[in-house]
Chain A
């Protein structure tokens, strides 16, 4: 009984600020736009009379623009996950095999940028990649190029920003798995005549697989909804679903369409999210 009382405030909070918003979001995805504040009508009128519409979901499925935005989000999140793994795995491995006293400082070096203001780091990329930016100035100074290259507002700049922002999310779970991996197993394989490459592919990687799965999901899930990085660094026609949702909400003030996009994004992520919850 006392336990119920102790948890009561937490239950109330979670029902009010987690469960209720989810239900409302789902409801408004079936609502319709309206003039006024707030700019939408509930799908259910007085006496629970149905006044909603499936129009938003139909638009989502039929209109190429919206379908494309979901596909672009998946592509962006997928390439970010692959790139952060390619960079993050060797980093985590090197930290896990570093001397004991080195591991925590090295991990801190990977994690600290995560605490330094995400927007400011994106600002740094703008300063580096602009036409008059530091990278172009260096290349011009070295005589490698004649004209400044267009680096900012490209797919490349967007991916660099994504990898920069999400790399710590990948390194941490990879390190957690790799640091528990006993080097004796690899030595045994080597003693039995396996080449370093064979040891890696047949011993290290299979044992590290849970960490690889966790890392890629931990990057993919938030990256799929990313808005800020494509907006600040990407080309204006790179419109993943996060950016389209933002536009629908702030520019078009079509709140039901924004809600429908959020529901679609969740539907896209339901399998990765379930996998992640089972993995952790």
Chain B
């Protein structure tokens, strides 16, 4: 019985996605109608300038914000996992984790109000666009990176670091030769997670972007409001392929051990 529901649930998750991808190869002008095999809509995708421009902006914002998020979240996750009760830990933990528990619309509106207030007060950031989206996404991503890094370090023994210290390594050398390599898979997985969050985000980007900040989801959303087009099917197929690649990469990096539950651990 449990397995039956699992199959049902997986079907519910996957059938719409697979149909979306399958009909991307249909020649018909009407989405989700079969008109023979064709790669026409992929070609249309590649020559749609607004779409290519939006995809390029999304890629730049996502990789930039993921990198910033990994730096901030990496330091934060390390401090939370290894420094015990440092001064201000409670507040620090609450601030880094806040974007995880706030609904997107709340984060988005608060971020926009900050940028507008800052611009009025100090003239920076001038206008809204790629930079404001990047800053907002980095803040969201840092929350996720911190969680992943903290979980990874909590699952590893401190013995290794203590041994290095006993053998005369300074704190910096210990961090560089022991802790950082321990953190590396979590940093990579965190970067990918932050990248995906940014690349997929509509709500925050809509609020904090001006006319100059049309990311891919903003463009797709305005298209979907008017109705579905076959180009959206083709885009879905491309993104699914890329996402599959990223997940395979992340799984390799984390070696998927923590997912097995119990057993040998980190």
A positions within 8 Å CB-CB of B: 2-4, 6-7, 9-11, 13-22, 24-25, 28, 38, 87-88, 90-91, 93-97, 100, 103-104, 106-113, 115-128, 130, 132-134, 163-164, 167, 175-176, 179-180, 221-222, 224-228, 231-232, 242, 245-246, 249-250, 255, 258-259, 262, 265-266, 269, 273, 276-277
Interchain CB contact (< 8 A) of B262 among A17, A175, A179, A249: A179
List residues of chain A with CB within 8 A of the CB of B105.
Answer: 225, 227, 242, 245-246, 262, 265
Of the four ranges (under 10, 10 to 19, 20 to 34, 35 or more), the interface on chain B belongs to 35 or more
Say if the beta carbon of B96 comes within 8 Å of chain A. Answer: yes
Say if the beta carbon of B243 comes within 8 Å of chain A. Answer: yes
In the complex, 22 of the A-B residue pairs with CB atoms within 8 angstroms, ordered by the A residue number, are: A2-B171, A17-B114, A18-B95, A25-B106, A90-B1, A90-B2, A97-B2, A109-B13, A112-B247, A115-B243, A118-B202, A119-B220, A120-B20, A123-B232, A127-B23, A128-B32, A134-B19, A167-B12, A180-B262, A225-B103, A242-B105, A273-B101
Asked if A125 and B16 make an inter-chain contact with CB atoms under 8 angstroms apart, the answer reads yes
Interface centre among B87, B217, B236 (most CB of A within 10 A): B236
- Contact A176/B20 with A17-B139, A21-B113 known, Cβ cut-off 8 Å: no
- Contact A21/B104 with A38-B116, A117-B236, A127-B32 known, Cβ cut-off 8 Å: no
Interchain CB contact (< 8 A) of B260 among A104, A108, A122, A127: A104
Asked if B251 and A108 make an inter-chain contact with CB atoms under 8 angstroms apart, the answer reads yes
Asked if B95 and A15 make an inter-chain contact with CB atoms under 8 angstroms apart, the answer reads yes
List residues of chain A with CB within 8 A of the CB of B23.
Answer: 127
Interface of A is mostly: helix
Asked if A262 and B92 make an inter-chain contact with CB atoms under 8 angstroms apart, the answer reads no
CB of B146 to closest CB in A, whole Å: 9
> Please, how many angstroms separate the alpha-carbon atoms of A163 and B16 in the complex?
13
B positions within 8 Å CB-CB of A: 1-3, 5-6, 8-10, 12-14, 16-17, 19-20, 23, 30-32, 72, 75-76, 79, 83, 86-88, 92, 95-99, 101-107, 109-111, 113-114, 116-117, 120, 135-136, 138-139, 142, 171, 196, 200, 202-203, 206-207, 217, 220-221, 224-225, 227-228, 232-233, 235-236, 239-240, 243-244, 246-247, 251, 256, 259-262
